[in-house]
Amino acid sequence: MIKHSSKEIQILKVRLVGLANPKLCFLYKSKKSSPDFYLTIDGSRSDYNLMKLISEDEYMFEVIFPRNAKKIELYVNEDGKTKNLLRLNNHFILRLFSKLEELPHKIYLHAKHFFTVLFQFIVLIWKQHHFLVPVKLWRKYFYDFRITLRSAGNSLFYNPFVQSDYLSWLSKQKSEKDLEPLSYRPLISILIPVYNVGEKILSECLDSILNQSYSNFEICLADDCSTKKETLNTLKRYEKKDSRVKVVYRKTNGHISAATNSALNIAKGEFIALVDNDDVLDKNALYENILALNKDKHIDFIYSDEDKLDFNGRRCDPHFKPDYSPDTLLSLNYICHFSVIRKKLVEEVGGFELGMEGAQDYDLFLKIVEKTNRIHHIPKILYHWRMVEGSTSASMDNKDYASDKGKLAIENALIRRNIKGHVEIDSKSLYYCVVYEYEEPLVSIIIPTKDHADITERCLQSIYEKTTYKNFEILLVNNRSIEQETYELFDKYTKMYSNFKVIDADMEFNYSKINNLAVNQSKGDVIVLLNNDTEVITSDWLKIMVGYALQPHVGAVGAKLLYPDMTVQHAGIILGLGGVASHAYIGSSRDDVGAYGRLRVPYNYSGVTAACLVIRKSVFNEVGQLEKDLSVAYNDVDLNLKLLEAGYLNVLVPQVELLHYESKSRGSDTTSEKYKRFLLEQEYMYSKWKSKVRSDRFYNANFSYKGWFVLDKD
C-alpha cells in the first residue's frame, strides 16, 4: 500500500476490510466538503461514497469493489494537476489479516461490557429489592438491561433510560443562572388530593412547594377521608406552619376526581397546578411557569418535562416531551406533570370527571385543548414523580384500570369533537391507536419507476393482494425505462386491472417533477407517494393512513418502514438530526416499543418520508406541491416544512408497516457527482428554512442532534 497526502487532503487512516464484500475506507481531513476525487479499479474509473461529516473537517471515503479486483488507485485534482493519494493491491490475505486482527479486541470489549453491565444490575437489584424483584418489574429490568448492553462502545451519548447514564448527565448540567425579575405575578393554586399518605413522603412534597423560588401561590389540599393519623397530623401541622396551606377535610371517601374537585373549590388563584401527594417539585417549577407567562400573558395551558424518583429517591426515567402534539395526545397522556392551567377553563369544562379515576388528568387535558390552542411547553424537568408500590409510576400493571379509563377518555373526546372512530389499546406499550371511520374517497397511489421490473412488480403485487381498501387507482410513472421486461410488466398490469395506469415522464430524473406530473393527472381526493422498492405488510395500511390524512389539521401521514432484515429504516423525520434532517430509529428492531411507544402508536413528527406518504391532494396543491429545485434529496422534508408553515401537522402511524428496499432502482446517491448535488440541495434547505432545520418542536431541546432520543456527553 502506498499513500500520500496532498495540499488539500490529509489521509488519517486507511483500512481494507471485508471477506465476501471487500471495502476500502479511509478517514481524511479536508477544508473542502467535496474534493475532486478520481478513483480507478483495475484501470477503469469507478464511483465512490463520501460519508457524512465526522467532525468539522473530517470525512470518510468508502468504495466497495469486486473480490477479483487487483489494483485500486485514488487521485485528487488540485490546481489543474492530478495527484495520486493512494495505490494498493487487493489481496485476500490482507483482508483476512485485518479481520483477524480486530476480532480478539472486539470479543474482549463485548465481554467486558457484558460483565460490567451485569454487575451493575446485580448491585442495583440487591440495593432495591434484595433480589426479591416484584414480578411486575421483571419486564422493565430486562428491557433496561438489554438497552444498556446495546449501547456498548458508545462514547458520544448518554442513554436517558439507563439510570446511571441519566445521573451522569444530570451531574454535568450547568448551574442555574440568576432568576429574572417578574412584573406579572399571578396567584397559583396548587391542587393536591390526599389519601393515607405517609408523613415523610407528604412532608417532602409540601416542603418542595414551600421552598419554591416563586412565592405567590397557595396549596389547596383535599383530604379524601384518610384513616391514617399520621396523614391527618401532617396536614394539620402544615396548616399551622404556613398560611398559604389550605386544607378541606372530606367526610366521605370519593376517590381522586372528587377530592381534586374539593381542592378546586377552595382555590382562589388565576391558575391551578396539579401535584400528587407523594411527588416533588423542582425549586424553580413555579418560577419557570410564571416566566413563560411574563413573556406571553395569553397562555392558557403550560406543561413541562418530568422524571421519576426510584424507591431510594434517586432520579430516573426522564420524559423529555415534544411541544404541543394533538395526535400524540390522542395516543397517550404525554403531558402529565407538571401542568399549570388557567382556572376559568378548568371550571368551564366542569373540573375533574367523576368515574374517570385513573385517567382524570388525561380526560381534563383532552377537554382543555378543545377550548384553547394557547398551549406552551417548557423543555425543563420541573417535576419528580415518585415510584411507590401501587403507583403507575412504578408499573402500568399496578393500575390496569387506568389503561381502560384512558381509552374511555379518548372515546369521549371523539364524541365531543363529532369524529367517527374507535380506540384500540396497543398490546405492547399499553398506549392507544385511534382508528378513524369514514366513507372511502378515491385514493391515487403514485409510484415512479425506471426499469427493475422485478422490484416494481413485488410492490404492485403487495398492493393488489394485501390491501383491504377498495377505492384506489395506481399511477405508475415511467421515467425513461429501457428494458423490455419493464414494458411487458406495464402491459400485464394494464390488462389485469382497470384501476392501473402508466404515465410517461420523459425527462431527466427529478423526483419532485415526476411526482407533481402524476398528481396533476390523478383523479383521487387523496394521494399516496410510494417508492417502487416498497412492499406492503399491513393489509389495512390505506384504511389507517387515509383516516389520519382526512383529519382537517393533518398534512402528511407516514408509515414505519423496515429494511428486509426487519430492522427500522424510517420511523419519523427529526429536523436538524445529523444535518438538515434524518430518520429516527434507523436500525432498531421491528419489535422495539420506542421511547414512550413511538414505534407502536401514532405520533406527531416534523416530517415523514415520501417513500410512503399520504396526503389530501387539495393540501398538497395548497402548499405548492414538491419543490422542483430539489430533484433528489430533501424534497419530502421541504414539503413537510411547508405543511407545518401552513398550519398543518404531520403524523407517523407506526402500526402501519412496509418493507423498503431503499432506492434500489436508482442506486446510491452518495457517488461523486450525486454527492455534489446533495451538498447543493443541502445548502438550499439551510438557505430557505434557516433556523427551522436546526431545531425541531416535536423533538426536545435536551436531546442530542447527533443521535435520536439520546443525551450528549459533551
In a domain, 201, yes or no: yes
C-alpha cell at 589: 428492531
In a domain, 427, yes or no: no
In a domain, 429, yes or no: no
Across-strand partners of 188? 217, 271
**Other beta carbons less than 10 A from residue 289's beta carbon:** 25
**Other beta carbons less than 10 A from residue 20's beta carbon:** 6
* CA triple 241-242-247, angle to 5 deg: 95
Judge if 564 and 631 occupy the same domain: yes
Judge if 85 and 101 occupy the same domain: no
User: Which residues are CB-neighbours of 638 under 8 A, at least 6 positions away?
Assistant: 626, 627, 630, 685, 688, 689
Of 90, 122, 152, the last residue of a domain is 90
103 to 97, 98, 117, 255, 692: CA distances (angstroms): 10, 9, 21, 61, 44
Q: Which SS3 state, helix, strand or coil, does residue 534 take?
A: strand
Judge if 597 and 518 occupy the same domain: yes
Long-range contacts (CB closer than 8 Å, 24 or more residues apart) made by 641-646 = 641/575, 641/606, 641/607, 641/689, 641/692, 641/693, 643/555, 643/556, 643/615, 643/619, 644/555, 644/606, 646/555, 646/619, 646/622
Judge if 86 and 99 occupy the same domain: no
Domain count, the chain: 4
Residue 108's pLDDT is 75
In a domain, 232, yes or no: yes
d(CA 401, CA 399): 5
Contact yes or no for 44/66 (Cβ under 8 A): no
Judge if 158 and 201 occupy the same domain: no
User: Which residues are CB-neighbours of 703 under 8 A, at least 6 positions away?
Assistant: 320, 709, 710, 711
132 to 125, 126, 138, 313, 588: CA distances (angstroms): 8, 8, 10, 19, 32
Name the nearest CA neighbour of 472 among 537, 523, 535, 534: 523
Q: Which domain holds residue 277?
A: 188-418
As a three-state string, the secondary structure of 658-699 is: EEECCCCCCCCCCCHHHHHHHHHHHHHHHHHHHHHHHCCCCC
Dihedral pair phi/psi, residue 301, rounded to 5°: -145, 125
Residue type, 657: E
* Nearest-10 crossing angle of helices 360-368, 400-416: 20
Residue 663's pLDDT is 47
Q: What is the CATH number of the domain that holds 486?
A: 3.90.550.10
Whether pTM exceeds 0.85: no
Judge if 76 and 100 occupy the same domain: no
* CA triple 267-235-341, angle to 5 deg: 30
Judge if 328 and 459 occupy the same domain: no
Of 90, 110, 136, the last residue of a domain is 90
Dihedral pair phi/psi, residue 273, rounded to 5°: -130, 145
d(CA 21, CA 487): 33
Contact yes or no for 194/250 (Cβ under 8 A): no
d(CA 309, CA 323): 24
Name the nearest CA neighbour of 158 among 167, 176, 149: 167
Of 49, 68, 90, the last residue of a domain is 90
Judge if 381 and 409 occupy the same domain: yes
d(CA 601, CA 652): 8
Respond yes or no on whether the N-terminal peptide bond of residue 338 is cis (omega within 30° of 0): yes
User: Which residues are CB-neighbours of 102 under 8 A, at least 6 positions away?
Assistant: none
C-alpha cell at 231: 396523614
Judge if 267 and 327 occupy the same domain: yes
Judge if 119 and 52 occupy the same domain: no
User: Which residues are CB-neighbours of 85 under 8 A, at least 6 positions away?
Assistant: 3, 4, 5, 6, 9, 11, 74, 75, 76
d(CA 582, CA 705): 10
C-alpha cell at 406: 384512558
Mean pLDDT of residues grouped by 10 in the chain (714 residues)? 68 76 76 70 72 58 77 80 80 75 72 74 65 67 66 68 89 81 97 96 97 97 96 97 97 96 98 96 97 97 96 92 98 96 98 96 98 97 84 48 91 98 94 97 97 95 97 97 95 97 95 97 98 96 98 98 93 91 91 94 98 98 96 94 97 97 51 68 89 88 91 85
In a domain, 433, yes or no: no
In a domain, 363, yes or no: yes
In a domain, 180, yes or no: no
Across-strand partners of 50? 61
d(CA 296, CA 294): 6
**Residue reference for cell 418489574:** 137
Name the nearest CA neighbour of 279 among 339, 333, 239: 339
Judge if 84 and 109 occupy the same domain: no
Residue 602's pLDDT is 98
User: Which residues are CB-neighbours of 170 under 8 A, at least 6 positions away?
Assistant: 315
**Dihedral sign from CA coordinates of 575, 579, 583, 589:** negative
Name the nearest CA neighbour of 602 among 659, 668, 566, 556: 556
Residue type, 710: V
* Terminal Cα-to-Cα distance of the chain (whole angstroms): 37
Q: In the Cβ-directed half-sphere of 228, how many Cα atoms lie within 13 Å?
A: 13
Q: What is the CATH number of the domain that holds 56?
A: 2.60.40.10
**Other beta carbons less than 10 A from residue 53's beta carbon:** 13
Judge if 212 and 100 occupy the same domain: no
In a domain, 183, yes or no: no
Helix (H) or strand (E) holding 503: strand 500-504
* Nearest-10 crossing angle of helices 635-645, 672-689: 10
DSSP 339-364: EEEEHHHHHHTTSSPTT-TTSHHHHH
Residue 322's pLDDT is 97
**Residue reference for cell 415522464:** 505
Residue 109's pLDDT is 67
- Chain centroid offset of residue 267 CA: 38
d(CA 526, CA 550): 8
d(CA 407, CA 420): 15
Contact yes or no for 196/231 (Cβ under 8 A): yes
Q: In the Cβ-directed half-sphere of 184, how many Cα atoms lie within 13 Å?
A: 14
